[in-house]
């Protein structure tokens, strides 16, 4: 298998990561549940973790890349290395050279390891997990904001379909604005 590297700006296989949005698929939550069961089983009771479905596939009605984002919340980063082997045995590639050293990231199906990404596992502490879950919950309860997000994603996919990094960066201002609204709405 080829080794995937990060040069500080792009992943070596970034061109294989074309941004293709799909209309919401009601099977996405079930795909999350099935994968979450496998991850829980692989990790066993030795690991104190919480799993959450987040990202666009977790928001009913929202167009998304058909990749199930799973947040694995593990409070003790010193125990994170014990997660690597069990998750890799489920067909995930661990990105050991992730520039964010306070997180871990796994991809299932990423070329050259598979035909196309199907799942991401994002390992975070409870403190780092908050914004992703707040965004999910806010968009879930505010369909007008979710529709605006979908429109932005379609525009970015049309403009940056072969540049996943630019596509992701283009969402930052919208996400930050939604998180600020959610923060103001929080009692």
Could you report the average pLDDT of every consecutive run of 10 residues in the chain (187 residues)? 50 60 96 97 87 96 94 94 95 87 90 84 95 96 95 94 90 96 80
Residue 71 in contact with residue 125, Cβ under 8 Å? no
**Alpha-carbon span 139 to 40, nearest angstrom:** 27
pTM: 0.86
Q: How many CB atoms lie within 10 A of CB 132?
A: 20
CATH superfamily assigned to domain 14-179 = Beta Polymerase, domain 2 (3.30.460.10)
Residue 125 in contact with residue 75, Cβ under 8 Å? yes
Contacts of residue 38, Cβ cutoff 8 Å, sequence gap at least 6: 90
**Alpha-carbon span 160 to 65, nearest angstrom:** 13
């Amino acid at each position: 298998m080829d080794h995937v590297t990060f040069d500080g700006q792009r992943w070596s296989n970034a061109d294989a990561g074309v941004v293709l949005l799909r209309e919401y698929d009601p099977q996405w939550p079930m795909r999350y549940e099935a994968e979450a069961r496998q991850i829980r089983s692989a990790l066993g009771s030795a690991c104190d973790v919480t799993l959450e479905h987040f990202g666009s596939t977790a928001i009913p009605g929202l167009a998304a890349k058909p990749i199930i984002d799973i947040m694995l919340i593990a409070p003790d980063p010193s125990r994170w290395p014990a997660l690597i082997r069990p998750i890799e045995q489920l067909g995930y590639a661990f990105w050991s050279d992730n520039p964010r050293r306070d997180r871990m990231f796994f991809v299932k199906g990423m070329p050259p390891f598979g035909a196309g990404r199907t799942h991401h596992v994002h390992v975070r502490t409870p403190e780092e997990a908050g914004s992703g879950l707040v965004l999910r919950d806010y968009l879930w309860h505010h369909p007008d904001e979710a529709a605006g997000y979908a429109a932005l994603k379609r525009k970015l996919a049309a403009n940056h379909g072969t540049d996943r990094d630019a596509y992701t960066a283009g969402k930052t201002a919208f996400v930050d604005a939604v998180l600020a609204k959610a923060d103001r709405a929080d009692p």
